[in-house]
Amino acid sequence: MKPIAILGGTFDPVHNGHLRVALEASDALSVPVRLLPAHVPPHRPPPVASPAQRVAMLRAALAGQDRVQLDTRELDRAEPSFTFDTLHQMRAEFGAQLPLILLLGADAFAGLPSWHRWRELFDLTHIAVLTRPGHSGSLPAELAAVVAVRRTESAGALHASAAGKVLDLPVTPLEISASVIRAMLARGRDPRWLVPDALLADPGLLDVYSHTR
């Protein structure tokens, strides 16, 4: 089985920024990427759309290709969607040897010390930090110390072991905000070219955001 990369989020709604970075990560790392919608995100307000509505949007957006896939395991748990718990479950399912790669934006990565059992994440997964080309952000001292001995510049290194490496992965920066899209839809504006065409082809998929003013 190939290594697996995972990208979490609320996907409320899924938009072209999510899909573009997932596709670029899949290409750069030569792995399939799984999108994991959170049920109860620990670090942000609850989603506007229900789990079923977000799954319907994701299924429509991902249809017709197989490099970016949907994984609903976090929606199947009632408790908060802690990444540690998700990775622990994936290890139980896939075994200790399969490389797992957690995809994180640079800002989210810099905030890692606020996450549940964050130091133990490196025992469960590699981390690919999604960055702008040429961008070099600063990290809190406690995170920088942990990361210093784990950094690699080789995507291949993430295939050679199951977990523990950190790779900066430049991706195309698409500054698309789900909250802006929700506000546009609430005002009756057209989000064309911000969200996948499949969401516009079935207007019912986005109706939930028309009543959030």
Minimum mean pLDDT range among 51-55, 74-78, 123-127: 74-78
Distance CA 86, CA 77 (A): 10
- Per DSSP, the residues of 115-126 read STTGGGHHHH-E
pLDDT of amino acid 43: 75
Identity of the amino acid at 169? L
pLDDT of amino acid 135: 65
Helix H or strand E encompassing 59? helix 51-62
Could you tell me the two tokens for 103?
Answer: 């995809």
Task: State mean pLDDT over 154-178.
Answer: 95
Residue 100 phi/psi, 5-degree rounding, is: -115, 140
Please, are residues 158 and 165 in contact by the beta-carbon 8 Å criterion?
Answer: yes
Mean pLDDT of the chain: 94
Q: Please, what are the domains in the chain? A: 4-208 (3.40.50.620)
Q: How confident is the model at residue 205 (pLDDT cuts 50, 70, 90)?
A: very high
Instruction: With a cut of 90, say whether residue 137 has pLDDT above it.
Output: no
Spell out where 48-97 has E strands: 68-70
pLDDT of amino acid 87: 97
Task: State mean pLDDT over 42-67.
Answer: 94
pLDDT of amino acid 141: 95
pLDDT of amino acid 213: 47
- Per DSSP, the residues of 154-207 read -TTHHHHSSS--EEEEE-------HHHHHHHHHTT---BTTB-HHHHHSGGGGG
Task: State mean pLDDT over 79-88.
Answer: 92
